[in-house]
Amino acid sequence: MKKTNFKGTPHNEGKIGDFAKTVLMPGDPLRAKYIADNYLENVRQVNGIRNMLAFTGTYKGKEVTVMGSGMGMPSIGIYSYELFAFYGVENIIRIGSCGSYQPNINLYDIIICQGSCTDSNFASQYNLNGTFSAIASYSLLEKAVAAAKKKKAHYHVGNILASDVFYGVDKNNWKKWADMGVLGVEMESYALYCNAAHLHKNALTILTVSDSFTSSLETTAEERQNSFTQMMEIALELI
């Protein structure tokens, strides 16, 4: 965006230059605030519209922005598109929570999402004669795996399901995805990967398992907001 009179969007009050080239994007805006408060220096708030908080600061001397995305593909679709298309952002790393589909993937394990499957119709806008396989940017994926190894994290790399439905009618539908080797489910990665591909940018999704479909275990809302520190630290190493 080269216009000097750019005044933001209906969803973002930030000005040109307010956002770093790399944005960490949790779903929960309070998780963005947690990261800014606990990891960043020289922090300034750059967006507060609809309480979708965004903060820009430095981590180990490098500029980074953290911003909430909200829940679901329509929400992250809006925010990630605007960051890529209007604010000069080159890399968006989604850091979120997910449900595990596999019995060997436990609470607090890290999933680095190589590819994103979906039940969404998000890609229909591109009028492709087929099914678009939404994948991560390999350069970010490679760095994330290296960072996870360095931190001795219990991590998994593979496909995730980005679903449009949270309270599904078919309670056993997840088993079909699990049988195809899908590691778990969340609600945003497919739209993020599509926007990155369409706009020739870079994207990655890193998730912490917050609950399991193969057991009754789950984390609390407070734990999801404040305790997924290993995932946050892996993502920060990619800037």
> Across the strands, what pairs with 47?
54
Q: Are strands 202-212 and 110-118 parallel, antiparallel or unpaired?
A: antiparallel
In which element (H, E) is residue 100 found?
Answer: strand 91-100
Name the catalytic one among 18, 119, 164, 211: 211
d(CA 101, CA 138): 24
d(CA 24, CA 236): 8
211 is catalytic: yes
Phi then psi for 180, rounded to 5 degrees?
-85, 5
Q: Which residue shows structure tokens 């998780």?
A: 31
Residues belonging to the active site: 211
